[in-house]
């Protein structure tokens, strides 16, 4: 539903102290693996996200600085241990569940359908091991787990999101920013401007910041060459100028550029 371009905020209490994240955009509802296909004015996009935002906020509120990746823990799974990035994502999911829960959890968050990497059995660990390991990694914020702190943190990250989007619009009303909670999709040419706005919004509040990073699985490879046949039903003769001109008129400008890189 590409017509869904209006955003609205969803709060979790009548006093607007918790929640407040932006919803409603079609780009938020598609699977993340497809976001690298988004183009703006026919140009490739880049998505930047705050790295470990909620853990950093909790540490900064205590006057402390979080060093290293907050989701890298000492626990080594007994199964699929070679998939370190997959296990990190699982730990991140459990960490956030522990922050959002209002009481101590006896089991992990329910896995999404068809995603075995979100189950304890896939990694060969127990929920008690996960909880113990996360608390051991973050003793300074142990009191925040199982208190529902996550919704309060969502209010903070949603305010940061609003500040970043408005700052980008003020920079130039022609800049299109597609927010996905604590990450933002923009035309790749505005990557540096977006980085500066994200740094500035956080520094205004905390004076320090987790460096925004480009998520590897959401950034379109600049030098990549798409499968051009998928844009046209008849077979394409790459040696035929007529076929190339016809194809060039069918695809966005960024892909046309890659097309001529390929044929040149």
pLDDT value, residue 165? 94
Cβ–Cβ under 8 Å, residues 45 and 185: yes
Q: In this prediction, what percent of the chain has a pLDDT beyond 70?
A: 78
DSSP per residue over 20-47, as a string? EEEE--HHHHS-GGGGGG-EETTEEEEE
Q: Specify the higher pLDDT residue, 103 or 216.
A: 103
Please state, in angstroms and rounded to a whole number, the distance separating the CA atoms of residues 21 and 165.
Answer: 13
Instruction: Provide the residue ranges of all domains of the chain, joining segments of one domain with +.
Output: 8-58+149-218, 71-137, 228-263
3-state DSSP helix/strand/coil % of the chain, to nearest 5 = 50, 10, 40
For the domain covering 8-58+149-218, report its CATH number. 3.30.70
Q: How confident is the model at residue 123 (pLDDT cuts 50, 70, 90)?
A: very high
Q: How confident is the model at residue 112 (pLDDT cuts 50, 70, 90)?
A: confident
Q: How confident is the model at residue 225 (pLDDT cuts 50, 70, 90)?
A: very low
CB < 8 Å & 24+ apart, contacts of 214-218: 214/46, 214/47, 214/48, 215/47, 215/48, 215/49, 215/183, 217/32, 217/33, 217/36, 218/32, 218/35, 218/36, 218/47, 218/183, 218/185
Lowest mean pLDDT among 29-38, 78-87, 127-136, 158-167: 29-38
Summarised one tens digit per residue, pLDDT across range 138-187 is 999 999 999 999 999 999 999 999 999 999 998 888 889 999 998 999 98
Query: In a 3-state reduction of DSSP, which class is residue 55?
Result: helix
Q: What is the pTM of this model?
A: 0.76
pLDDT value, residue 220? 37
Summarised one tens digit per residue, pLDDT across range 46-97 is 899 888 899 999 998 998 888 889 999 999 999 999 999 999 999 999 999 9
Tokens standing for 68? 């290293």
Q: How confident is the model at residue 43 (pLDDT cuts 50, 70, 90)?
A: confident
Chain length of the chain: 264
Tokens standing for 264? 């040149």
Lowest mean pLDDT among 15-19, 106-110, 236-240, 260-264: 260-264
pLDDT value, residue 199? 85
Please state, in angstroms and rounded to a whole number, the distance separating the CA atoms of residues 94 and 79.
Answer: 17
């Amino acid at each position: 539903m590409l017509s869904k371009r209006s955003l609205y905020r969803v709060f979790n209490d009548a006093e607007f102290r918790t929640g407040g994240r932006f919803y409603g955009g079609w780009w938020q509802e598609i699977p993340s693996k497809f976001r690298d296909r988004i183009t703006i004015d026919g140009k490739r996009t880049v998505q930047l996200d705050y790295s470990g935002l909620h853990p950093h906020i909790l540490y900064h509120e205590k006057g402390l600085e979080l060093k290293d990746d907050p989701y890298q823990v000492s626990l080594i799974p007994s199964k699929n241990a070679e998939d370190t990035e997959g296990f990190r994502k699982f730990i991140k999911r459990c960490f956030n569940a522990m922050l959002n829960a209002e009481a101590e959890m006896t089991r992990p968050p329910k896995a999404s359908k068809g995603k075995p990497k979100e189950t304890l059995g896939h990694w060969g660990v127990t929920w008690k091991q996960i909880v113990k390991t996360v608390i051991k990694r973050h003793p300074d914020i142990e009191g925040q787990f199982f208190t529902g702190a996550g919704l309060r943190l969502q209010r903070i990250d949603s305010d940061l999101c609003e500040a970043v989007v408005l700052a980008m619009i003020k920079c130039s009303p022609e800049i299109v920013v597609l927010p996905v909670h604590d990450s933002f999709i923009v035309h790749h040419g505005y990557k540096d401007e977006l980085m500066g706005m994200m740094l500035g919004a956080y520094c205004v509040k905390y004076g320090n910041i987790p460096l925004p990073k480009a998520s590897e699985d959401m950034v379109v490879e600049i030098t990549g060459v798409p499968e051009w046949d998928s844009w046209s039903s008849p077979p394409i003769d790459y040696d035929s100028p007529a076929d190339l001109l016809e194809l060039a008129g069918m695809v966005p400008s960024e892909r046309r550029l890659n097309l001529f890189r390929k044929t040149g």
